[in-house]
Structure 1
Amino acid sequence: MARPNSEYPTELELQILKVLWDAEPMTVREVRESLAAGGRELAHTTVITMLGTMVDKEQVEKLEPTQGKAFRFSPLIGRDHVSRGMLGDLVDRVFDGSAEAVMLSLFDVAELDAEELAGLRKLLNKKMREAKS
């Protein structure tokens, strides 16, 4: 039985999106080379197939070639949209919607330095002021 389509990108789709977010539009070759530079070696045909699937899922668009015959691809969904959706899904499914549980877990698994903790304190203070308004 086939796995149902997720509304969120798969691991490989997310890697491709990250490449495109950093330097769009890109050809299949450029995407493949960028993935390889990041340690993910894939066959050219695999990248073509993945980009085709992502076009079908409306995650990327296929642009007509400007020179030569190589199509270029550009993301249709933004980094913020994907990260918010995936994080919201994680919070709901793993932490039953509890932001507090997420933060406590974050403190358990992440090595935060004093500067990062100070930044988090500022964000929390800002959110507290907004909640009182």
Structure 2
Amino acid sequence: MKTPKKAKTGRRKKTTSNLTEAEWAIIRVIWDQEPCAAGTVQEALADSKGWSYATVKITMDRMVQKGFLTIQKIRNLQLFSTSISRVDAKRVELHKMLGRAFGGTLSPMLKFLIEHEGLSKEEASELRTLVNQAGKKRS
């Protein structure tokens, strides 16, 4: 007996390579307050972005189409939740930037940051601790 093929949904695979700056601003709010309505997101971004409700809602609807958000409908209310974790989103963004600017390797990026952006004593100490812990895990 043949197993039926899965129907194609036409949706793209979730990847932050398609997240715009506006979508990043919106998804950060939703991560902190999910599930939430578009009005909640618009209020949270009102001071920093000045976007209208329509702008936020249209962007969120596009994010649903891209697979970044899901909608739960409760009567006339639409509550939005994220479909991608903070860790996954940051990982994809970091790998994109590493690939473009530093040939995909972490060491040149860290060297660049230290040499051109500087580190406070606290940051340097924290970095040493992280490097030492990573070295112990691999030993």
Q: Do both proteins adopt the same fold according to a TM-score greater than 0.5, normalized to the shorter chain?
A: yes
The 5 A counterparts of 1:54-65 are 54-65=63-74
The percentage of aligned residue pairs carrying the same residue is 29
Q: Does 1:71 align with 2:78?
A: yes
How far off its partner does 1:60 sit?
A: 0.5
Please report the TM-score for the alignment, with normalisation by the length of structure 2: 0.82
Cα drift, residue 70 of structure 1: 2.2
Instruction: Output the TM-score relative to the length of structure 1.
Output: 0.85
What is the CA RMSD across the aligned residues, in angstroms?
Answer: 1.8
Higher relative contact order (CA 8 A, sep 6+): 2
Alignment of 1:1-133 (within 5 A): 7-37=17-47, 39-65=48-74, 69-131=76-138, 133=139
List gaps (5 residues or longer) in structure 1: none
Q: Verify the 8 A CA contact 1:8 1:86 in the aligned structure 2.
A: no
8 Å CA contact 2:73, 2:79 repeated in 1: yes
Could you list the runs of 4 or more consecutive aligned residues of structure 1 that deviate by over 4 angstroms after TM superposition? Answer: none
Highest Rg: 1 or 2?
A: 2
Task: Answer whether contact 1:91 1:98 (CA < 8 A) is retained.
Answer: yes
Please give the secondary structure, in 2, of the residue aligned with 1:42: coil
**Deviation of the 1:129 alpha carbon:** 2.7
SS in 2 for 1:71: strand
Q: Which residue of 1 aligns with 2:12?
A: none
Deviations 1:3-58 (A, max 9, x none): xx973411000000100111111111101000114x11111111111011000011
